[in-house]
Amino acid sequence: MKILCVPNFSEGRDSSKIQLISKSIESISGVKLLHIDSGADANRTVITFVGTPEAVCNAAFEMIKTASEIIDMQVHRGKHPRIGSTDVCPLIPLQNISMEKTVEYARKLAERVGNELDIPVYCYENAASVPERRNLAFCRKGEYESLKQKLVEQKPDFGPDIFTPKIAKTGATIIGARDFLIAVNFNLNTKSKDTASLIAAGIREKSKISDGAKLKGIKAIGWYIADFGIAQVSVNITDIHATPLHRVFEETRKRSKQLGVDVTGTEIIGLVPEKVLLDAGRYFLSQTENGNPENVSDSILLKTAIEKLGLNDLSPFMSDKKLLKI
């Protein structure tokens, strides 16, 4: 049995702290660290690691403990929404394990973090205790700044429900079990956060815009990233089977053009399943004149996807480091 863990930490600027967190993961035998992705403007780091369920849960506990000791939420500032030092910690069934069993591991981890580290824990997605908490945005609503009130109005699933000096430093943590998710940012040739936000509002599943695409499993926000000097549409694709990456890309381009801007490229955060880019390559080849994606090698499909999605726009896309074969 194998599960994947993709925790998000509220630190993307201090490499020494990120290194300490990654070392705490690697200190547990039976896990393999696959990828680290940090962003200074977002002030956030996404780490991906894999292993047996028991080993992954032990590593997750150690990394949450380490993060709580070295990250102070009282001084944290960043573009990305967050509620604690370890903001979110999802477990993802990967090999020979059911979602139901993964949920059991997630809730046991959440209970251990709450009891032994005295950190409030909200369980989300498939591990949620109530329907509303399946939604990560609901669990994180108000972010760290509203945590004191949240602990009173929405008791955590595990851990203390009083805003102590320790919790003022650590914040809360959101732990759950979910399917694979793709985190992706679409680069725009504008600096306007408002424009990016309008595009995001038009593509997400819960769009309130009358002609919104309402793409299943799509969550999106707009922001300006000073590091790159551009605005981005930041997207989580939570159902990669219902809404493939290339469809989100095309819809984002469509909405952008309506507002007089262009999508110049794509930034994938963390890892992406190889199949997602192979499917994108097939799609883009099928859209070309005389294009025929049948009997085309995987290397050609990947090259096509990388080119059409603009994956080299901000930095070279390293296939050997970014692709997850599942």
pLDDT at residue 292, as a whole number = 76
Domains, the chain, in order of start with CATH, read: 2-177 (3.30.990.10), 182-324 (3.30.70.670)
pLDDT at residue 114, as a whole number = 98
Alpha helices by DSSP H, listed for the chain, are 15-26, 53-70, 99-117, 136-140, 147-153, 165-170, 193-203, 245-258, 274-286, 298-309, 319-322
Three-class secondary structure of residue 87 per DSSP = strand
**Residue 197, exposed/middle/buried by CB under 10 A (0-12, 13-18, 19+)?**
middle
Active-site pick, 35, 76, 80, 246: 80
> Is the Cβ–Cβ distance between 53 and 104 less than 8 Å?
no
pLDDT at residue 251, as a whole number = 97
Q: Is 80 a catalytic residue?
A: yes
186 CB-near residues (< 8 Å, 6+ apart): 232, 233, 235, 249, 252, 263, 265, 266, 267
Phi, psi for residue 303 in degrees, rounded to 5: -60, -40
pLDDT in tens, 22-79: 999 999 999 999 999 999 999 999 999 999 999 999 999 999 999 999 999 999 999 9
The span from the CA of 53 to the CA of 63, in Å, is 15
Alpha helices by DSSP H, listed for 259-297, are 274-286
The span from the CA of 5 to the CA of 139, in Å, is 19
pLDDT in tens, 71-106: 999 999 999 999 999 999 999 999 999 999 999 999
The whole model's pTM is what?
0.92
The span from the CA of 214 to the CA of 204, in Å, is 5
What is the full per-residue pLDDT of the chain (326 aa) written as tens digits?
999 999 999 999 999 999 999 999 999 999 999 999 999 999 999 999 999 999 999 999 999 999 999 999 999 999 999 999 999 999 999 999 999 999 999 999 999 999 999 999 999 999 999 999 999 999 999 999 999 999 999 999 999 999 999 999 999 999 999 999 999 999 999 999 999 999 999 999 988 898 889 999 999 999 999 999 999 999 999 999 999 999 999 999 999 999 999 999 999 999 999 999 999 999 999 998 777 778 899 999 999 999 999 999 999 999 999 999 87
Q: What is the mean pLDDT of the chain?
A: 96
